[in-house]
Amino acid sequence: MKKLKLHNFRKFKNLEIDFDDDLNLLIGDNEAGKSSILTAIYVAYSRTKGKLYFVSDKKMKLYKK
């Protein structure tokens, strides 16, 4: 992955990240959106065909496109 573009995904209205070829770190305060970025990458590469299972507060939720 060379670039990630998010539009209206969770807390991000518009976000564009250019990834380095070698190493990339996500560093930020609590609630900065690090997990949201990882979730977006998971969705992009997953085979869930528009379905995402997300565990929050010990509840399983199903998100569909």
Average pLDDT of adjacent 10-residue blocks, the chain of 65 residues = 90 93 94 91 74 53 52
Contact yes or no for 37/24 (Cβ under 8 A): no
pLDDT number for residue 32: 93
Which residues does residue 63 pair with via DSSP β-bridges, in sequence order?
A: 52
- Rounded alpha-carbon distances, angstroms, from residue 21 to 12, 15, 38, 49, 63: 24, 19, 17, 27, 31
Structure tokens at 21: 């070829």
- The structure's pTM equals 0.68
